[in-house]
Structure 1
Amino acid sequence: MTTSQWPFIIDAVRISDGKKVVVKMVPTNTDELPMIQFLNKPDLRTDKRNKMVEVIDMLLLPDTDEYALVVMPRLMLFVVIPFQFVGEVCSAFLEFLEGLSFFHEHGIAHRDACLLNMMMDSEDVTGNNFHFCQVTHTEDDVTKYIQYKARRDVAPMRYSFIDVGISKRYPLDCQDRTMSGLWGQDKTLPEFRDGISGPIDPFKTDICQLGSVFARIVQYEGLSMLSPITTQMTLPQPELRPTSKEVYMQLVDLVASFTEDDLAQRVWYMESTPAVRKRLESGKESPPELLKLWHCLTPYYVKK
C-alpha cells in the first residue's frame, strides 16, 4: 500500500520469512543511491554509531534504468508511541545525536534531519502490527488502535534516520562547506525565517533541525532539564551552535549525572488528562488518547 503523500514508497512482505518491509523507488540520476550505498558499506554498517536505516536489498527494474527499488525494514515514526519516562527520551536523543555525529564525521550533511525522517523499530513495543498508512491503528482492523508497551520495558530501542534524498557528502578536507538550494521539511529555522538566501552551513542547519524536533518533545511535562541542550542547538546564529559531536558529549555528561530515580521519573504530554495518566500508570492499559497526541509535536508537518 502506498500513500498520496509519499507515492514512491510502498509496504510489502518478504516471501522467505514474512518480514514486513518498505520498498522505495529511487531515481538513479541523483546522489541518493550512491549515498545509500556509501552508508551501507560493510565497514560503516557494522559501526554501531551508524543510524542510517539498513538496506535489505536493492533491485534494478527490468524495463527502465531510471529508477531502482530500495528495500528497507518497515519502521515507525519515533514519536507515535508516547514517551513515559525520562530515560526513554534521553536514550532516543542520544541515539539520534550519535547518528548525526556519525554522518558529520564522514562529511555528510543530512539536510533534512527533521521529524518525519526519524524512525524507530517498533516491533517489541507494538508487535509491529500497525497499519502502514494509519500508524496508530492495527493492520488487521483500522477501526482499532494499536496496543503499546513502555519503551524502557523493551530496551534497548533502535532508532534510525531515513531519506538521504537531498543529503550532501563533502570531502573531509573541504574548506567551504556552505551551500544553497533545496532544504528539508522544517522551514521555521532561524536562517529560513526571512526566506532562504545565500549559502548556509548545512551541518549547523542539521543541528538546528534536530534541535527543533527535540525542543518540541521537551515540551512534555517533566523534561525541563533537557531545555538547555535544545536551546543551544537552535540558537539563532548558526555559528554559535555546537557541533553534533559537542552536543552529543554534552548530553552524555548530563545523562551520566542523573540517578536511576531521575531516569525513572514519569513524563507526560501537557495535553494528557489526569484520568488518562492514571490509566497508563496502572500498567493495565495503553490509552489510545495518547496515540492521538503525537500530532501536537508536528504543527508544521502534519495537518491535524
Structure 2
Amino acid sequence: MSNISPSVREQLRANNAKIGARGATLLPDEELWRDKFHFLAAQGYTLRPRYHPDWKPSWEADPDIYPVRREDYFASSRGGLIDATRKVDGRLVCIKKVKNGSEELKIATLFSQSPLRDDPRNHCVPILETFPDPHLNDDAYIVMPFLRLMDDPPFQTVGEVVDFADQMIEGLAFMHENYVAHRDCAPSNLFFDAEPMYPQGFHPVINNKTPDLASPAPFYSRSEVSKPIKYYIADFDLSSYLPPGKPRRTLGRDGADQEVPELSDEIPYDPFQVDVFILGNALRRKLYDKYYRLDFFRPLILSMTKKDPEDRPSAEGALKQWQSIRKHITAFQRVCRLRGRDEGIVTSLVWDVLSMFKPILGLPSTSTLSRMSTLTAT
C-alpha cells in the first residue's frame, strides 16, 4: 500500500476494521466448540486456530491486512457440526455432537460396524470414532470424514453422473434391506469424498482455496483421478429403524424435500417409499433438470416420483430398473461432457469440441476447461 495516498489508505483501513469487526467475535455456536477445544485435542483432534481459547484475530496485528484473506476469519461451525484435523495423520474430519443413546447415533454406528461396514453396497457415511462428553452425560460425538456436497465441484461427464446414480440407488436399497429409512436423502445430505481430487487439500469453509487460503485449490475432475470416487448418504437425525414386526409407518413433515406428497403430522405414511421419492426428486432437480444428455434418467425419475407411493417401486425395484437402463448407456455416452441447459448453442459446441480433443491437442485438464467454461458463460 506504499503507493496509495494517505486519504485512500485511511479509507481502506477503516473498511478493513469494519469487516474485521464482523469476524472478530465468535457466534454462540462457535463458543460451544471453543469450550471443547482442549477436550477434543485430548481425543486426538485439533480445531482451527479460531477456536483456541486464547485466539486473537490475526488481522488485528496490521490495519492494512484485508481480514477475509486470513484463514481464521471464517466461522466453520454449523450448529452441531465442526471441522477438525486428526492429529495422527493430518486428515480433515467432521465432528458432530449428537444425543447419547439417540436413534441417530445407533443408526449411524450400525452401518460402520462389521459386517455391514465391509459390504461394498454400503454408502452410509463412515463413522471413524465415537466418544461421550464427560461433562454432559446426554451428549456424545461422532467423527466422520470431511465430505463435500455431491456436486461440489460440478459433475463434468455423463459417466460421472452414472457413477453417482449407481452408488446412491444401491446405497438406498442397502439401507432399506437393513430396515433403515433415511427420510431425508435429499441433495443436502448426499456427499462424496473429494480427497483424491485435491492433491494439496482445500479449506473446510472456503473450499475452492488451499487450506491456508493462499491460492485457489488445484483439483482434478472425478474422471481424472485413479482412485474411485465414493459417494455417501449422511445425516441420520430423522432416520427410522423399522425391523420386521414393526409397522412401516411414521409421522412428520421434517426434511429438506417438502415436495413429497404424503408428508403429514396426522396421517401415517411409509418412510421407505418417501426415500424413493426424495432420491428420485434429487436425480431430477440436481441432474436431469440441469443438464442435457441425461434423457435416460427420465423413466426412472417418473417411476420414483409418482404421486401415489403405492405406484412407486421399492428401492430394490428402483435399483433393478436403473441397472436395466444403464446397460444401454454406451461407452461414448459416458465420456461425453455434460451440457448445461443454460448454455448457448455456440458455447456448447466449442466446449464439446475442446473436451473431445483435449488429449490430442494437449489442452488443459477437464477441471481447468470446466472453470474456463463457467467464466465464459458468466
TM-score by length of 2: 0.70
User: Is there any run of 5+ residues in structure 1 with no aligned partner, and where?
Assistant: 293-304
Q: Which residue matches 2:258?
A: 187
If each structure's helix is expressed as a fraction of its own residues, which one has the higher value? Answer: 2
Find the partner of 2:333 among 255, 262, 270: 262
Change in CA separation of 1:56 and 1:4 when aligned onto 2, cut-off 3 Å: closer
Give the CA deviation at 1:287: 4.0
Q: Which residue matches 1:243?
A: 314
Q: Which amino acid aligns with 1:232?
A: S
Q: Which residue matches 1:126?
A: 198
Judge conservation of contact 1:83–1:268 (CA < 8 Å) in 2.
no
> 1:1-304 maps to which residues of 2 (within 5 A)?
6-127=78-199, 129-141=201-213, 145-154=216-225, 156-174=228-246, 176-192=247-263, 197-216=266-285, 217-219=287-289, 220-272=291-343, 274=347, 277=351, 281=355, 282=358, 283-284=363-364, 285-288=368-371
**Does the residue aligned with 1:113 lie in a helix, a strand or coil?**
coil
Provide the rounded CA distance (Å) in 1 between the counterparts of 2:253 and 2:261. Answer: 16
Give the CA deviation at 1:269: 2.2
Q: Which moved more, 1:56-65 or 1:273-282?
A: 273-282
Question: For each residue in 1:28-83, what CA deviation from the matched residue of structure 2 results, as whole angstroms up to 9, or x when unmatched?
Answer: 15211111221222111011111111111111222121111111111111111221
Q: Which residue matches 2:14?
A: none
TM-score by length of 1: 0.86
**Does the residue aligned with 2:83 lie in a helix, a strand or coil?**
strand
Change in CA separation of 1:160 and 1:221 when aligned onto 2, cut-off 3 Å: same
Give the CA deviation at 1:171: 1.4
Judge conservation of contact 1:78–1:120 (CA < 8 Å) in 2.
yes
Judge conservation of contact 1:81–1:291 (CA < 8 Å) in 2.
no
Give the CA deviation at 1:255: 1.1
Identity %: 29
Give the CA deviation at 1:218: 1.2
**Does the residue aligned with 2:232 lie in a helix, a strand or coil?**
strand
Q: Which amino acid aligns with 1:213?
A: A
Change in CA separation of 1:61 and 1:128 when aligned onto 2, cut-off 3 Å: farther
Q: Which amino acid aligns with 2:172?
A: L
| Count of residues in correspondence between the two structures | 288
Judge conservation of contact 2:147–2:193 (CA < 8 Å) in 1.
yes
Provide the rounded CA distance (Å) in 1 between the counterparts of 2:152 and 2:374. Answer: 6
Question: For each residue in 1:2-23, what CA deviation from the matched residue of structure 2 results, as whole angstroms up to 9, or x when unmatched?
Answer: 9588211111111111111111
User: Is there any run of 5+ residues in structure 2 with no aligned partner, and where?
Assistant: 1-47, 49-73
